[in-house]
Structure 1
């Protein structure tokens, strides 16, 4: 399948209701409004195709950019490729659910995510913290440095309330993910979550939302889910 064929198939799957929902979350034209689950049959036909993924991502169409992440070959992408993708990720559903997810399957994931976290740019930082969430929820505990993650928890505790809004949400998710999916620091994550308390996320033209990692981790403890790992990062 080539670019034109994929774009036609995506357009045919578009729904006005989904389009409105994506726009309310920050997407803008061009987009079709395709439910992510509806993309699976096309992805099965194409499998992995990095060249086509690059073409799709470059269209600037939200649905095409999302689909690009599904068929990309993260192992074939360099740091500059991920940076270029992040440059075009104009809202959190791209930075955190396309670029960060794709990066999480690459060997260079941690070093790139570390640079993004240190960048001072809202969506890059958000994508960096999100990448760690995808990694922790999938890779074995031994693949991480416990002292590094402990330092990251300290950093979150000291800076989360002053961070940009979207970054706050990803940092809060980082505390939660360490607490649930990384056993060596389960207790420290709980302590951090307790110290951080409720996190307010301010949103344009909408009411603030409030996140509480401590309560979220407690729910997973009650459900017996501590130590949970998902089999795949990408759907």
Structure 2
């Protein structure tokens, strides 16, 4: 079976480029115009291919990097490799997929969470907070929840956008999943008013923490 060439994959991605998709993505800070459903179809056809994934990542092309994250072996990356990849992940979608599809499934995830959480680069720190929010919801043992709330209370209001979003997610998860800290989480959200005016589509829950917490708790209690 012939080995898939990076040049062929890049040509295919170029053929899938849609100016309308790019225009929508650019509003969110992403610089690609490939429909993600079509991108996933390409990934399904290529199947898992770690070498190709590394070559696609090295192109620095956003669509190629998203494809790389779909066909890679998450556990095959070492800690330093993932750290470098996160720092190279310029666009929000690549950043999000790297965390969701690769880092969370990698044995170095907790080590990276701790390192990124304290990083001076706010985009890198946002990754640490995203992984922390995941732990708050699914594996809170060992986390200092009051300490996290202290940091959120002191820093979230003036944090850069991506870091602020991740800290707000962590705040909401604490309020949703941990009744003992719910009142404080709600109070912090109400006083800081972060994302209070965020535009929310009909049928979607606002990311404003007090609304988010209240709605998710209501759903839990109505089951």
Normalization by structure 2: what TM-score?
A: 0.81
What does residue 194 of structure 2 align with?
A: 199
Q: Find the partner of 1:7 among 10, 19, 41.
A: 10
Match of 2:172 among 171, 176, 201: 176
Taking only aligned residues, the RMSD between alpha carbons, in angstroms, comes to 2.6
- The answer to whether 1:152 aligns with 2:148 is yes
In structure 2, stretches of 5+ residues that fail to align are 200-206
Change (3 A) 1:186 1:100: farther
How far off is 1:80 after superposition? Answer: 0.8
Structure 1: stretches of 5+ with no match in the other structure: 202-207, 228-235
Aligned length: 210
CA distance in structure 2 between the aligned counterparts of 1:47 and 1:163, rounded to whole angstroms: 39
The one-character-per-residue Cα deviations of 1:104-142 (angstroms, maximum 9, x if unpaired) are 1112112202211201212101122223345556xxx4x
Indicate the larger mover: 167-176 or 208-217.
208-217
Q: Which range moves more in the overlay, 185-194 or 210-219?
A: 185-194
Task: Tell me, yes or no, if structure 1 residue 218 matches structure 2 residue 214.
Answer: yes
**Distance in 1, Cα, partners of 2:60 & 2:84:** 13
In the alignment, which residue of structure 2 is the partner of 1:204?
Answer: none
1:1-235 correspondence runs (5 A): 1-28=4-31, 31=32, 33-95=33-95, 97-101=96-100, 102-134=102-134, 141=138, 143-180=139-176, 183=177, 185-189=178-182, 191-197=184-190, 198-200=193-195, 209=198, 211-224=207-220
Higher strand fraction: Structure 1 or Structure 2?
Answer: 1
